[in-house]
Chain A
Amino acid sequence: MEKNRESGVVMETKVREILDRYPEGRTENLIPVLQDIQETDGYLSEESVLEVSRHLKMPASKIYGVATFYNQFRFAPLGKYHVQICCGTACHVLGASTVLEEIEKNIGVKSGETTKDGLFSMEVVACIGACGLAPVISINGNFHAKVTGESIKEILDNYRNQE
């Protein structure tokens, strides 16, 4: 608990640093501000959105509305293993949606979410330029090629077993 609180403080100062780079009350900077925060924190926490709301003088509901409009923002911290599944054309044609379904079932969360134990997070991404490997997923930057509904189970289990 104590530790969490500490990391909260650290995070807030980082958000502060980001906000200091943008003038107060200038709502047109919303997207870059959110991008910067996500870049540093990996996600948009409730506290950071509220901090942005105070700085830009913009209701939190509006910020949340804008942020959920774009796929790029997430509201849960990344899991220990961040699974990115490509849904570009090649992957789609070769069965990415079956893989996606299987991942959702296996870890129990949808794109943009993180498992309760913090082990996995998942994100659907547009073409990652590895069409030769389709359907492809990347876990913490490591690519897994020609994934199927069957093989994905094994891949995820391997990560689980490392714990």
Chain B
Amino acid sequence: MSFLINVNNKNIEARDGETILDAMKREGIQVPTLCYIKDRFPSGSCRMCVVENTKNGRLVTACSTPVEEGMNIQTHSPRVIESRKTIVELLLSNHPDDCLYCVRNRNCELQDLSEELQVRERRIKGEKNTIHLDRSGASIVRDPEKCILCGRCVRICEEVMGVACIDFIDRGSKSFIGTAFDKSINTSSCVNCGQCIMVCPTGALTEKSHFTELISMLNNPEKTVIVQYAPSISVSLAEEFGMPPGVDINNIMNAALRKIGFKYVFDTTFAADLTIMEEAAELIDRVKNGGTLPMITSCCPGWVKFSEQFYPDMLPNLSTCKSPQQMLGAVVKSHWASEKGVNPENIYSVSVMPCTAKKFEAQREEMTSMGLSDVDAVLTTRELGQLIRMYGIDIKQLAPETTDSPLGYRSSAGKLFGASGGVMEAAIRTAYHMLTGEELVRFKIEPLRGMKGCKEASIEVNGLKLNVAVVNGLANARILLDSVNRGEKDIHFIEVMACPGGCINGGGQHIGASEDAVMARMKALYDIDEKETVKVSHRNPDIIKLYETFLGKPLGDKSHKLLHTNYLKRDVLL
């Protein structure tokens, strides 16, 4: 049922059961929000979205007050503005004044609000909190001094990621966000996904930076500094430079990376193809030889840590394949190094990822060969943006360049890794070929595409029915795995991506992107797959060559040593 309410002296349509904010959003009427998260039950705790209902003279929170017929709302009356301004002044009263030194300078909701409400003096002085900076994690840095207690991180971590390693601790003016027993985050169940960073309005949550070491390596003549970038970077980096979402700047990015001083530029997508060769072979092996099923993908390090903590009994289900980042790193420091005649000890291997958990993955003990890390430093998409700006490179003036080969050529199937469902689609294409010797007639597997949290499909291969499922957002993984464990589902292969929508919406991507922007990135990947001719990993010429000259065959001895790994139950505070 719908009726009319009056907002700022204009009648607008309101629907039964929705909130004032919902109705106003549809009409494009804006009020500031802080604790509000789209599509989540409102908490109404920050009171930033107050509006005045002139019918009864009350200030109500737009995010949590349901519409009522005949309401008369003013969104910017003097009382409303006064009250919002006071809230911001209170938030600023104990905030450290170090915007100039903050990573979120000029991309901070607290700055925006104080600008919008014209806060021009410190009227209220509060005691600054002195809760320690937590740099213990490999991926996430927490600076509670900058926290304004909006609670978004707590809710994302619990409701979307199903992790819940952080919560409000203590109360009143002593409240802060912390882990169980206020321990360092590295001993908690945090999976390093970085989704909390994506929603944090301030600089209280950021990624661990490796800049200092990277820059010294770039300037060290003895080091060969190489770089790889994940499939989703080329379609999301542009936003760091104010370009519209979904623009593919792959070859411009190559040029920028070389300008910065990276000697060789590789595409992780090549290794995505490699992962598919190994993973498809592993799937077939498990199906044919009675191995543990369902097999579950292992390229998302957020998911891998999640499973090690919450689903240790299912570790045998995880594919033993390393992730593309780690596979490329391992091939570079072994085969590539010996071909080039470079001492692996002098290679500094950098990756650019849409992901904070990749920083954690790169430093896992399992991800080393002969005492050397496969990958030495991981940058997020955001950090690559910072680096390009730091080197004074004008991205709009660069002539496109290609990647280095070998290890640079990729199929469009590998590119799909960047979107939820993409690993599955690519794996099915290659598994089909391995089983039948033929190519799929229709490459596109529509039910596995898009932003939905849980997607399922059945594929017929040689009379064999393969049931597959794709989940993104770890809370959805919980739901699926629990139902698999209860025996309610007969599934052979599951793809799990920690972040909602997959890597295009990873915790290392541009902050402040809308849902439409994320969808534009996804579409850009689908377009590449639509347009290009090499749509399957097993037809990537660099891959074929790597198997011919070095690896032998998928699941062979060399693969096992370099490209596969194992997982262990983790003892953390759950």
Q: How large is the interface on B (under 10, 10 to 19, 20 to 34, 35 or more residues)?
A: 10 to 19
Min CB distance, A75 to chain B, in Å? 7
Q: Given contacts A50-B573, A53-B574, is CB(A61)–CB(B179) below 8 Å?
A: yes
Q: Given contacts A59-B164, A60-B180, is CB(A65)–CB(B169) below 8 Å?
A: yes
- B165 interface residue (CB < 8 Å to A): yes
Q: Given contacts A46-B181, A49-B180, A75-B181, is CB(A60)–CB(B573) below 8 Å?
A: yes
- B145 interface residue (CB < 8 Å to A): no
Q: Given contacts A46-B181, A59-B158, A59-B180, is CB(A65)–CB(B574) below 8 Å?
A: no
* Contact of A61 with B171 in the complex, beta carbons under 8 Å: no
* Contact of A59 with B169 in the complex, beta carbons under 8 Å: no
Q: Which residue of B lies closest to A62 (CB)?
A: B167
* Contact of B573 with A65 in the complex, beta carbons under 8 Å: no
Q: Which residues of A contact B158 (CB under 8 A)?
A: 59
Q: Residue B165 contacts which of A50, A61, A69 (CB distance < 8 angstroms)?
A: A61
- B166 interface residue (CB < 8 Å to A): yes
- B550 interface residue (CB < 8 Å to A): no
* Contact of A62 with B164 in the complex, beta carbons under 8 Å: yes
- A22 interface residue (CB < 8 Å to B): no
**Count of interface residues, chain A, beta-carbon cutoff 8 Å:** 15
Q: Which residues of A contact B167 (CB under 8 A)?
A: 59, 61-62, 64-65
Q: Which residue of B lies closest to A75 (CB)?
A: B181
- A106 interface residue (CB < 8 Å to B): no
State the CA gap A16–B231 with chains docked (Å): 50
Q: Which residues of B contact A54 (CB under 8 A)?
A: 574
Number of A-B contacts (CB under 8 A): 47
Q: Which residues of B contact A65 (CB under 8 A)?
A: 167-169
State the CA gap A37–B466 with chains docked (Å): 50
Q: Given contacts A50-B573, A75-B181, is CB(A61)–CB(B188) below 8 Å?
A: yes
* Contact of A64 with B171 in the complex, beta carbons under 8 Å: no
- B222 interface residue (CB < 8 Å to A): no
Q: Which residues of B contact A60 (CB under 8 A)?
A: 180-181, 573-574
Q: Which residues of A contact B182 (CB under 8 A)?
A: 64
State the CA gap A63–B180 with chains docked (Å): 8
B136-192 contacts to A (CB < 8 Å): 158, 164-171, 178-182, 188-189
* Contact of A69 with B180 in the complex, beta carbons under 8 Å: no
- A68 interface residue (CB < 8 Å to B): yes
State the CA gap A110–B323 with chains docked (Å): 48
The 8 closest A-B pairs by CB, nearest first: A65-B167, A60-B180, A59-B164, A61-B167, A61-B180, A64-B180, A68-B170, A69-B171
Sampled A-B contacts (16; CB under 8 Å): A49-B181, A54-B574, A59-B158, A59-B165, A60-B180, A60-B181, A61-B167, A61-B178, A61-B180, A61-B188, A62-B164, A64-B179, A64-B182, A65-B167, A68-B169, A69-B168
What residues make up the interface of B, taking CB atoms closer than 8 Å to A? 158, 164-171, 178-182, 188-189, 573-574
Q: A61-B167, A61-B180 are in contact. List 6 more A-B contacts (CB 8 A).
A: A46-B181, A59-B180, A60-B181, A61-B166, A62-B164, A64-B169
